[in-house]
Amino acid sequence: WPGADSHWRAPRGRKAAGRPGAGPGAPPGPGPHQDTGDILQQIMAITDQSLDEAQARKHALNCHRMKPALFSVLCEIKEKTVLSIRGIQEEDPPDAQLMRLDNMLLAEGVSGPEKRGRGGPSAVAATSGGCPNDNSIEHSDYRAKLSQIRQIYHSELEKYEQACSEFTTHVMNLLREQSRTRPISPKEIERMVNIIHGKFSTIQMQLKQSTCEAVMILRSRFLDARRKRRNFSKQATEVLNEYFYSHLSNPYPSEEAKEELAKKGGITVSQVSNWFGNKRIRYKKNMGKFQEEANIYAAKTAVDATTVVAQGNQANSPSTPSSGKSGPSHQS
């Protein structure tokens, strides 16, 4: 080490103090303790020097034969003191909130595979009032907005991940570079990477949180919309009333009958169930009020039955074409 030798042998103001064999030409560091002491002194004093001087000293220190041994000892000391304390403090408990957010985003179809068809809010849409077209409009609107949220979420997440990866690589390179001049063990680099990932996952959690909030707002708006009541069409009310009054002794349509009524009225099965629930209780509470209505539908049913009979007779007569109203009967 021709160039570096002078540095080792001539520390400021402490030139080979009482060190045998440390004179010019002698191999550096005959006594391990004194040699190490010298090196440490030089390291301590390096900040007092000018930049050029310090650079030269650093280079010399790097080339010292004791450097690898000293370096690993310093790494070990650092590991045992500072890092071990920090390590204990930074043991993260499993983050329940993050898990909750992840689960919610998954359930809402924001993260994970995109949900298609009848899932999630579509079931809610099926129970909303009004014509079926309105449901599909609300549904497609909801899905479009959810898809927008999903898109933003993934794009932001990707950005964060890319930034995290770039920053981690940068810091790792920096630490590797610095590990040539100060005690940075691979373990410490790894720990630093974990810290960076931790910081970025905090940012990601904020993103997840705001995404969840956006979904909740969208959902609440959508759920509010379902309460908007629209009266059934005349056709639907007619079909339901006909069934109700023709089954007055037992106004409990079977599942099949409900489906049939729903189809005829252009409403959902649950709307049929709601209607019958309301009708039964309201009829029972005020039979007098519904009497007129009951008479009208009873007469209507009778007319329908007569029409069907008449049509049957006409069909049997070869000379008469079918003429009456089309009207499938709702016979009980």
Residues that bind DNA (CB under 7 A): 124, 127-129, 224, 226-232, 237, 252, 255, 271, 273-278, 280-282, 284, 289
CA distance 28 to 35: 8
Rounded to 5 degrees, φ, ψ at 321 are -75, 155
Question: At closest approach, how far in Å is the CB of 211 from DNA?
Answer: 25
One-letter amino acid of 106: L
The 8-class DSSP code of residue 230 comes to -
Question: At closest approach, how far in Å is the CB of 289 from DNA?
Answer: 7
Q: Which residues contact 175 (CB under 8 A, 6 or more apart)?
A: 184, 188, 189, 192
Question: Among residues 178 and 220, whose Cβ is nearest to DNA?
Answer: 220
Distances (CA, A) of 246 to 40, 294, 304: 104, 9, 12
CB atoms within 10 A of CB 60: 19
Question: Among residues 199 and 228, whose Cβ is nearest to DNA?
Answer: 228
Question: At closest approach, how far in Å is the CB of 244 from DNA?
Answer: 11
Question: At closest approach, how far in Å is the CB of 231 from DNA?
Answer: 5
Question: Among residues 21 and 277, whose Cβ is nearest to DNA?
Answer: 277
Q: Which residues contact 43 (CB under 8 A, 6 or more apart)?
A: 61
One-letter amino acid of 158: E
Question: Three-state DSSP class for 120?
Answer: coil
CA distance 112 to 106: 6
CA distance 177 to 170: 11
Question: At closest approach, how far in Å is the CB of 137 from DNA?
Answer: 15
Question: At closest approach, how far in Å is the CB of 274 from DNA?
Answer: 4
Question: Among residues 176 and 228, whose Cβ is nearest to DNA?
Answer: 228
Question: At closest approach, how far in Å is the CB of 254 from DNA?
Answer: 8
Question: Among residues 15 and 230, whose Cβ is nearest to DNA?
Answer: 230
CA distance 37 to 182: 17
Question: Among residues 20 and 277, whose Cβ is nearest to DNA?
Answer: 277
CB atoms within 10 A of CB 272: 25
Helices (H) and strands (E) in the chain, counts: 13, 0
Phi-psi region of 117 (alpha: psi -120 to 50; beta: other; left: phi over 0): left
Question: Among residues 33 and 227, whose Cβ is nearest to DNA?
Answer: 227
Question: Among residues 199 and 282, whose Cβ is nearest to DNA?
Answer: 282
